[in-house]
Chains A and B, each alone.
Chain A
Amino acid sequence: MHETRPAKITSPIVDLGGAHVKLMPLALIVGAVGVGLAYALSQFQLQRFSYIYLVNFAFVLTMCIGSLFFVTISHLTRAGWNVTLRRIAELYAQCLPVLFILFLPILIPLLLSSDGLYVWNQGGWSMTHATNDLKDTVANLPLADRPPLEQMKAAYLNKGFFAIRWVIYFCIWGGMATFFLRTSLKQDTTGDKKLTSWMQAFSAPAMILFAASIVFSSMDLLMSLEPLWFSTMFPVYFFAGSVLSSLALITLTSLNLQRSGRITDEVTTEHYHDMGKLMFGFVVFWGYIAFSQFMLIWYANIPEETFWYEYRMDLENGWGILSIILLVGHLFVPFLFMMGRTMRRNKNLMFIATIYLLVMHWIDLYWLVMPQYARAGGEIGFGFMSVLADLACTVGIIGLFMGIFFLVTRDKPLVTLQDPRLGEALNHEVH
């Protein structure tokens, strides 16, 4: 009963098999229509539209960043078990340079006007939108000659430097993703084992750059919505959500590909079991980081920090309810649900779990972004039209994202064909 499988790809279909020819335009059209519809439904109010757009952009960006992390850490640790899943992650990471196009609707209004998504780009940005407590704190600085906080932060948070930073981030991510995918594809044809060593050597310095880029990009993208808020834990929180969502996405993609008859032999229950373990681990990690961030701020009880949570914990404005949903839905439910071995080895349950985790990740980002719109004086509105607009935007960006994925993938193999650790992956067994 126990036999060693040969290190050979045995599935009949290992690529999209031409499906992308039909699906790519379809996804892109759905995406364009969805985003356009969302803009129209929000009555061409750029500010309102930008916020929900940011939620969805962050949603796809985090999944791709997490995939890039998955590839890099695999090489860094010489992982053998996930070789058959790595290509999917490589393809998602390769979407990153294309995602820069989706970033432009955030960047261009910022550069062209003194308005846009981020309050630090507006005149008097911090004082107008801060809570009264904060205003008092900042206004009553003990030394009159001390520069106000926003003056100090303006050196970092200004449109020119912001744009430069984002170009750098996408260069780092794009460079890493392109290197990994190209090298891996080259190995598919040549089978050269040296390429694995190269990727491994590349992964260590790349990981350092990656860490720096995710720290600063998370602060720029989401944390600077509230420019006077402090939390050194925030990038780690962003990272935890990114990796969790990418693990869910990779698993979900693999499950879908196998349902449609592709790479059926290469990804086994054992792989899903381990992906399930990783997701379980990152659910706990997310909870750990989220709580650490909360508890430090709660305990220190400094008005400059607490107002961020105070607003989100207020049950009267509704954000408190969303916080509770997040705590229960993003931590407790998946914690118990993903704990069991039986669940992790069941493909149908894993399918449900991955979709559930992605929805929770989306809610997490909504919870990070949207309260800022309300705090800045905007009316989110939960009427039929605004919910429809948000829904259209979400569907639209996911459509665009899938279109980009098909564009990147085309007829590339969905599994590494000649990786030297293929045998280890195919014979992987969980104890």
Chain B
Amino acid sequence: MANETDNSNDKELVGLLAQFDDPTSLLAACNNAREAGYKKMDAFTPFPVHGIDPALGIKRSFLPFIVLAVALGAVCVGLGMQFYTNGGEIGGVSTDQSPIFPGYQFLISGKPHFSLPANIPVTFEVIVLSSAFATFFGMWIINKLPRLSNPLHRVSRFKRVTNDKFFLMLEAKDEKFDKSDSEAELNQWGAVAIEEVNQDLTDTKLPAWMAPMALIGALLLLIPPVAIFSAYGATNTKPRLHVVPDMDWQHKFKTQVLSPNVSDPDTPEYLFANRRAMRQPVEGSVRFGSLETDSEMFRGIKKDFANASMTVGMKKSMLASTGPQDEEENLDQWITGFPEGFEVNETTLARGKERFNIYCSVCHGYAGNGDGLVNQRAVALAANGQATWTAAKSLHDAVVKDASKNPTGRIYDTITNGRNNMGPYKDQIPVADRWAIVAYVKALQETGITPVGADAAAEAEAATEAEAPELEAAEEEKEE
């Protein structure tokens, strides 16, 4: 049966579909139809046929103009978006002053907050994306897509359009269309077969259950976002969900616990005979750091004091809660020169300078004047009460410079374990490099560079106090 709806009374004639066997006769028929005055018609072919557009009288699509308009709009949108998010300014008012959704003035390598060259790539991408969308969806709109069904698909003969047959359809909506006349004309133009195309008008209403079901479905879909948002704002007293339990509860023993009974309570059996969960180290194991026996080299402490002393910095970090806090420091314990195995020469001094510039200069300054950029900024913030900060020492300070109060061993210890505000650097700087820095610091002090405004700096130093240990760990810069 060619047409499933032939027997139905609820149908409407859409048009007449004529079949042709080759592109040439189709083109001729298209030309004839156009010349006969038909306007609403369409041709269907398995492959693009040259010249079919003028033969059907199809005008150029206005899609390109839609795309052009959208692309020009995208220029404004792309630039405007970046202007807004980058905190651009109009008449001295920046968008970062906006009470809601403020822009943010990122400072990137000294460029202006809104600078055209940087914004061109993003604008370009926005243009390309919106042009692609405009082309794609514009084509849909112009072609009245998406269309869920087409009466042509009910004509079984039409299926060969994707294979080897050519079709021309005259639409019933055309003013010139008349069923019998048009059929005669199509026959005259060489149609191999002619079919009526009918739109099925039988009940197109949705089943009654569908609308409420859709409503319920939509409501159900609302549950997950509502749940997420309510959880987002709520507090919960229950323990958290364990997504990967065998990672949270691993089959292992913590250190220094007894191995539990792995058998019946009556006949206990333990994992290891001595009931220790932790094993003894393998014979010949060397504890980490146990080879650092040379106290002069590794701690900056004279050999005589090696067993008695614990460095001040270590006390601070190890015994902060339990040990005596204000124990008098034994200044005799520090070595005053350099340990054996470290040689002060041009190479080590150059190395020391390089390391100093990398690690120390940010606070202490390149010349050791205590004017590093971090320090400057922190002092400025501290002056506003936005942070607590003990100013970095000038290495040319009289106390620091005094070899009796600050022997080289003590400087080494300061680098290793930190002092006051200063953090320990033992994890960042290897031992030899620390000594190289000490050598460089001594060299810096010998050259005795006096900074500009040294008097004022010295007064400020005196005011903030020099030696008092800062018990409270300094907070980092705190923005409000």
Contact = CB atoms under 8 A, between A and B. Distances in A.
A2 interface: yes
A341 B27 contact: no
A341 B48 contact: no
B331 interface: no
B50 A429 contact: yes
Interface residues on B, range: 10 to 19
A346 interface: no
Contacts of A2: 24, 27, 50-51, 55
A431 interface: yes
Contacts of A339: 68
Interface string A1-25: 1100000000000000000000000
B201 interface: no
A291 interface: yes
A291 B50 contact: no
Interface string A68-108: 00000000000000000000000000000000000000000
Contacts of B68: 339
B60 A341 contact: yes
A301 interface: yes
A301 B117 CA distance: 12
A295 B31 contact: no
A384 interface: no
Interface string B381-420: 0000000000000000000000000000000000000000
A1 B50 CA distance: 10
B110 interface: yes
A431 B48 contact: yes
B110 A299 contact: no
A294 interface: yes
Given A341-B60, A429-B50, A1 B117 contact: no
Contact of A299 (B51, B54, B117): B117
Contacts of A294: 117
A301 B111 CA distance: 9
Contact of A1 (B51, B111, B120, B121): B51
A298 interface: yes
A114 to B, nearest CB: 40
Interface in A393-431: 429, 431
Interface in B286-312: none
A2 B27 CA distance: 8
B321 interface: no
B60 A1 contact: no
B184 interface: no
B347 interface: no
Nearest to A431: B48
A339 B68 CA distance: 10
Contacts of B27: 1-2
B51 A295 contact: no
Nearest to B51: A2
Given A295-B117, A298-B117, A1 B48 contact: no
Contacts of A1: 27, 31, 51, 54-55
Interface string B108-124: 01110000011011000
A339 B118 CA distance: 26
Interface in B14-52: 24, 27, 31, 48, 50-51
A429 B110 CA distance: 53
B448 to A, nearest CB: 25
Contact of B109 (A301, A341, A429, A431): A301
Contacts of A431: 48
Interface string B65-91: 000100000000000000000000000
Nearest to B48: A431
Q: How large is the interface on A (under 10, 10 to 19, 20 to 34, 35 or more residues)?
A: 10 to 19
Contacts of B121: 295
Nearest to A427: B50
Contact of A291 (B31, B60, B120): B120
B118 A299 contact: yes
A2 B48 CA distance: 13
A312 to B, nearest CB: 14
Contacts of B60: 341
Interface in B347-393: none
Interface in A268-290: none
A223 B24 CA distance: 58
A320 to B, nearest CB: 15
Contacts of A299: 109, 111, 117-118
Contacts of B51: 1-2, 429
Contacts of B109: 299, 301
Interface in B166-203: none
Contacts of A295: 117-118, 120-121
A339 B71 CA distance: 13
Nearest to B118: A299
B22 to A, nearest CB: 12
A296 to B, nearest CB: 10
Nearest to A301: B109
Nearest to B53: A431
B294 to A, nearest CB: 35
A310 to B, nearest CB: 14
A280 B466 CA distance: 73
B167 to A, nearest CB: 18
Nearest to B31: A1
Contacts of B24: 2
A341 B53 CA distance: 16
A299 B115 CA distance: 11
A25 B31 CA distance: 54
Interface in B92-134: 109-111, 117-118, 120-121
A295 B51 CA distance: 46
A41 to B, nearest CB: 40
A299 B31 CA distance: 59
A341 B65 CA distance: 12
B60 to A, nearest CB: 7
B338 to A, nearest CB: 27
Contacts of B111: 299, 301
B110 A301 contact: yes
A291 B120 CA distance: 9
Contacts of A341: 60
Contacts of B50: 2, 429
Interface string A225-264: 0000000000000000000000000000000000000000
Nearest to A300: B109
A12 to B, nearest CB: 27
B180 to A, nearest CB: 29
A123 to B, nearest CB: 35
Contacts of B120: 291, 295
Contacts of B54: 1
Nearest to B24: A2
Nearest to B27: A2
B112 to A, nearest CB: 12
Nearest to B55: A1
Interface string A336-349: 00010100000000
A369 to B, nearest CB: 24
Contacts of A429: 50-51
A269 to B, nearest CB: 14
Nearest to B49: A2
A372 B120 CA distance: 28
A418 to B, nearest CB: 24
8 contacts: A2-B55, A295-B120, A295-B121, A299-B109, A299-B117, A339-B68, A341-B60, A431-B48
Given A1-B31, A299-B109, 4 more contacts: A295-B117, A301-B109, A301-B110, A341-B60
Interface of B: 24, 27, 31, 48, 50-51, 54-55, 60, 68, 109-111, 117-118, 120-121
4 closest A-B pairs by beta carbon, nearest first, are A2-B51, A298-B117, A295-B117, A429-B50
